Amino acid sequence: MVWLTVCNTVLWQWILPVCLLVTVVCCGIRLRGVPVRGMHRVLRETYGAVFRHGSDSKQKQIFASALAATMGTGNLVGTALAVMTGGAGALFWMWVSALLGMILVYAENLLGILYRRTAADGSVIGGALGYLRFGIDSRIAAGLFAVFCTVSALGMGNMAQSSTIKQTLSHYGVSPAVCGLVTAACLILILRGGTDRIGKVSVWLMPLLCGFYLLGCLILLVRNAEMLPSVLLRIIREAFGFRAAGCGFCASFLIHSMSIGLRRGIFSNEAGLGSSSLLHMHADSSDAVMQGKWAAAEVFADTVICCTATALVILAAPKPVYLNAGDAAGLLLYAFSNGLGHFASVFLTVCMVLLAFATMIGWYPCGAACVRYLFGGGAVTVYFAAYVLLCFAGALGSPEWIWQLCDCCNGLMALPNLYGMCRLSHMLPHQTGKN
């Protein structure tokens, strides 16, 4: 536990902020600020296609699967944890991570399609694996990324979600063992159908679930509308290290808030990790720009919309419950109950459990692609068994060490990916054209 804490401190307070900033600057300059500069066009083309009759159904499935992978505990428990440990200002830095993340995922998907290849066994090697292996021609970087991504899929994409489901259902007296068994059984039913079944489940589950959750948040925010101006002022004040009026500036508070916000923001939208490109590499289209736009739209929906809604509900609650909350899941239940009464626990339990489960099925293909790259197609069966077993173990494990492990895996996974993106940033203008 101690070494995980030290590793995360070094990674997230010193190494990754610099690496992320350098990569965003390199890619952002090459892309001339796209997609942030043309955000309205990106959102119109992507969100408009979701509701357009006759649009590419395969693309919708990829979009839904990628959204399922990102929208889970990062939006609910992760956001609550950010506010609880980093203060209201952490939300501001999550917004910053979203804007930077849109550039990062846009760039990595451009490169992921550009260097997509078909292996001898017919499997697709693309995304971060493609540009690390064929773009910068580094077997070491591609291998390290595959290893870290596999562990991250088993940890962040699986155990952390299972732990959250267990924490949520424990309020209803459900034992961890029963929770783990039922979750694992549901995973088996869906994952055995492969990416097609994952896509079909995600494409009807995610719009319904996200709409249901945002509607609940909107009801609470309307009821607490008088608190929103002071909440927004507090977010800005704490984001830059200013304490209560007249108490001056605190650099350590600024660094802590920024670190927590960026860490939780990246945990939520996964920008810079390379996982987004592993899902979009299966698209039928070879239009790299369009895949970048879809990925940027996912980050916007994940962090700017859903994480913001979660944080505002907590911060606008009648009592500052996050100061005395014992755990992030309990914080959410308590904050929502202030506005929805007894219905809040049922509402939030359904949302948390289904979003966490959606993340589990969305992350599985990422780890499977990396295992296939490292060991061949036969090893995917072993990975499937490990994924199901660790789902059960996550329901029995300690939430604290699971979250620490997830942060560590995310950071290690990002390093080779960011290195490859910086090396290949000169290729980005050739892919964007007039976009």
Q: Is the whole model's pTM more than 0.75, yes or no?
A: yes
Partners of 249 in the beta sheet? Answer: 242
> Residue 132 is encoded by which pair of tokens?
């690390």
Tokens 């945002």, residue located:
214
Provide the pLDDT for residue 382: 96
Pick the most confident of 314-323, 346-355, 373-382, 399-408. Answer: 373-382
CA distances to 282, 383, 430 from 288, rounded to whole Å, are: 12, 29, 11
> Residue 154 is encoded by which pair of tokens?
């088993």
**What amino acid occupies position 380?**
V
**Which of 350, 379, 365, 57 is closest to 198 using CA atoms?**
365
> Residue 297 is encoded by which pair of tokens?
């739209």
> Residue 265 is encoded by which pair of tokens?
């923001």
Provide the pLDDT for residue 183: 94
Higher local confidence (pLDDT), 319 or 389? 389
Number of Cβ within 10 Å of residue 352's Cβ equals 25
DSSP H or E run through 4: helix 2-10
Could you say which DSSP state residue 124 is in? E
CATH of domain 58-424: 1.20.1740.10
pLDDT at 245 > cutoff 60: no
Handedness of CA 91, 358, 12, 77 (dihedral sign): positive
Residue 248 confidence class, pLDDT cut points 50, 70, 90: very low
CA 124/CA 145 separation, integer angstroms = 16
Average pLDDT over residues 311-320: 82
Provide the pLDDT for residue 8: 83
CA 163/CA 157 separation, integer angstroms = 11
Question: Are 417 and 145 spatial neighbours (Cβ–Cβ below 8 Å)?
Answer: yes
Provide the pLDDT for residue 7: 84
Greatest Cα-to-Cα distance within the chain, rounded to the nearest angstrom: 67
pLDDT tens digit sequence for 296-305: 999 999 888 9
Could you say which DSSP state residue 191 is in? H
Number of Cβ within 10 Å of residue 71's Cβ equals 28
Length of the chain: 435
pLDDT cut 70: percent of the chain above it: 89
pLDDT at 244 > cutoff 50: no
Question: Are 260 and 90 spatial neighbours (Cβ–Cβ below 8 Å)?
Answer: yes
CA-based end-to-end distance of the chain: 47
Show Cβ contacts of residue 118 under 8 Å, excluding neighbours closer than 6 positions. Answer: 124, 125
CA 360/CA 97 separation, integer angstroms = 23
**What amino acid occupies position 70?**
T
pLDDT tens digit sequence for 7-22: 888 887 788 878 888 9
Least confident of 30-44, 136-150, 245-259: 245-259
pLDDT at 94 > cutoff 80: yes
Residue 262 confidence class, pLDDT cut points 50, 70, 90: low
CA 282/CA 119 separation, integer angstroms = 13
pLDDT tens digit sequence for 127-186: 999 999 999 999 999 999 999 999 999 988 898 889 888 888 887 888 999 999 999 999
Question: Are 365 and 187 spatial neighbours (Cβ–Cβ below 8 Å)?
Answer: no
What are the helix and strand counts (H, E) for the chain? 21, 2
Least confident of 98-107, 187-196, 248-257, 324-333: 248-257
